[in-house]
Amino acid sequence: MQHSPFVNWLARVLLGVGLALVSVQVGLIFGGNWWEVGAACAVVALVGIGIAARAEWVERRRRFLRRHCRTLSLPTPWSVKLDKRMRGGWTAPIAVIRDDGMRFVVDIQPFHSVNWALAPRNRKGDMEPVLVDSRGRKLRPDPMPTLAAGALAASAAPVLWLPRALEAGTHRHPDSNLVVVAGTARDLKLALQSSRRVASNAQVNSTVSGLQESRLTV
């Protein structure tokens, strides 16, 4: 029997908070006499807090994706699937097949600003493009490896949508086939409409190194 995401979230939060509260109470009662009991209660309390925090993070991510997916309006002839399960276990927030057969896998992230930078790929000194924040730090979590693998499995072009970006724009690194769309749902729609397929062996990351892929030119 499957429950709604809200029920799952509520159950995990209550479980985590309940574990933490009961552990603290038991620790206060018995911890003064047996330090082992106090230590065990502290560990269980931390586990409970971790369960509740994880449940809250997953629910916030779900609400974020749902809110922005609702704003998206793509042409009727296109095939659009939300929460598309990809090979490898990753779920793509949006999977699109354009009327000309061009495929896209779209991930949605809440970053306010991203830039391209080069980082070492191996000990030989080879460099690869990576996404960094406004301070030049690598994104955490980094969406590129998962998005690249999902797009490769679906023979699709990877697109990273940033609906909370401070500045709108669409950009791609010359050595990567990942397109970053910063802006509203309309900006994403225009980017998907204006993209065309070219043959390339550009790399999104070391996972797809050396493979011939289709990439976007915006």
51 Cβ contact list (under 8 Å, min separation 6): 12, 15, 16, 19
pLDDT at 2 over 70: no
pLDDT at 217: 42
Encode pLDDT of 186-209 as tens digits: 999 999 998 865 433 334 444 444
Alpha-helical regions (H) of the chain:
5-30, 35-70, 144-153, 185-194
pLDDT at 212 over 50: no
pTM value is: 0.67
DSSP 38-78: HHHHHHHHHHHHHHHHHHHHHHHHHHHHHHHHHT----TTS
Encode pLDDT of 87-110 as tens digits: 777 888 999 999 999 999 999 999
Least-confidence region, from 4-8, 23-27, 126-130: 4-8
Domain boundaries, the chain: 5-66, 79-217
pLDDT at 120: 75
pLDDT at 10: 61
Average pLDDT over residues 154-177: 88
pLDDT at 192: 92
Number of helices and strands (H, E) in the chain? Answer: 4, 10
Confidence of residue 27 (pLDDT cuts 50, 70, 90): low
